Amino acid sequence: MPGVSVQLGKVAVVALGGNAITREFEEGNITQQFANTRRSLVGVADLIERGYRVVLTHGNGPQVGNALIRVEETRHLVPPLPLGVIVADLQGGMGYMIQQSLQNKLIKRGIQREVCTVVTQVIVDKNDPSILNPTKFVGPFIPEDRVEEFRRTRGWVIKRDPGRGWRRVVPSPLPIAIVEKATIRMLVEQGVVVIAAGGGGIPVYVEEDGTYEGVDGVVDKDRAAAILAREIGAEELYILTGVDKVALNFRQPGQVDLDFMTVAEAKEYHRQGHFPKGSMGPKIEAAIDFLEHGGKLVMITSVQRFPEALNGRTGTRIVP
């Protein structure tokens, strides 16, 4: 396409954690979010400079939490928004921040590549077990004396977040396919850098007549990134998180940082319980899924050290 000035090669999906944009102990205002976004995209720009065709996806956990607080604080003034619409809104807003920040980085490097954001729906099974038994905590904490009221008047499922308090829980069904895959793939083939499936995508299921219906839930960002990578024929998947390397016995005596794993080794370590459900587990499961469906490489590392990881100085590489 016009403006592309580098020889384009491999297709890679890069999954940014939501904490790359809103960091712990920060207020999370827009100025901070833009600054964090700019810092988080150095390695992505390096990848593009090497000629990769790149699709970016991102988490939205902190942002969804803030959005749900806004809904609760203003429901007496304006109609509340359902969770699926909030995810869609955040795909646009966060996509704008990532898109502009990356455009500016590429301009400063003299790289001519188009960047765009695609609001993305992700197909899930309407009979997914998590829909019947939701477990994903979202939104603000609820005073214990109002739990029954909220259950009755709002139809929420509310559970105790261990050691923290009462919170709403929503379904987090497994992603099956990307609705906009053909559009994303076409853009990637033309050399466009695409931001897609933000926050794991908007969960939808397929009706018997082939139409789509939204699900009031959230999809795990890393699992969605693996499905996205499969659907567009990516060869490499980069999962950027809060640690430099995957580790055995994480934060315990005898911690062992891993430079390299095969799928078989990753499965065995996972079976042994090294990768907890709430943290590294979904990332390892996403990596295994991607590699077992034709992927060539998964790298897991921190956002801050992604540029170093690309040069082999840190990060954990997982191969078939």
- Please say whether the dihedral angle defined by the alpha carbons of residues 78, 79, 80 and 84, taken in this order, is positive or negative: negative
203, containing H or E segment: strand 202-206
pLDDT tens string 230-254: 999 999 999 999 899 999 999 999 9
Query: Average of pLDDT values for 74-86?
Result: 94
pLDDT digits (tens, 9 = 90+) for 133-171: 998 888 888 999 999 999 999 889 999 988 889 999 999
What is the domain partition of the chain in residue ranges?
11-122+178-319
Whether the pLDDT of residue 94 is over 90: the answer is yes
Q: What is the pLDDT of residue 5?
A: 46
Average pLDDT over residues 289-300: 97
55-68, pLDDT tens digit by residue? 999 999 889 988 99
pLDDT at 299 over 60: yes
Q: Is pLDDT of 2 > 60?
A: no
The H or E element that residue 47 is part of is helix 42-49
Residue 104 burial (CB < 10 Å; 0-12/13-18/19+)? middle
User: Cβ distance 218 to 138 under 8 Å?
Assistant: yes
Closest to 9 (Cα-Cα) out of 54, 55, 43, 53: 53
Statement: residue 70 has pLDDT above 80? yes
- The letter for the amino acid at 33 is Q
Query: What CATH code would you report for 11-122+178-319?
Result: 3.40.1160.10
Residue range 210-224: mean pLDDT, rounded: 95
Element containing residue 267 per DSSP (H, E): helix 263-271
| Phi, psi dihedral angles at 140 (to 5 degrees) | -75, 165
Query: pLDDT at position 3, please?
Result: 45
Residues in the chain: 320
pLDDT of residue 28: 82
Q: Which of 124-138, 142-156, 171-185 has the highest mean pLDDT?
A: 171-185
Residue 131 amino acid letter = I
Report the alpha-carbon distance of residue 299 to residue 310 in Å, rounded.
9
Residues 71-95: b if buried by 16+ CB within 10 A, e if exposed = bbeeeeeeeebebbebbbbbbebbb
Active site residues: 18-19, 136, 221, 283
What is the mean predicted confidence (pLDDT) over 217-237?
96
By mean pLDDT, which of 12-26, 149-163, 173-187 is the weakest?
A: 12-26
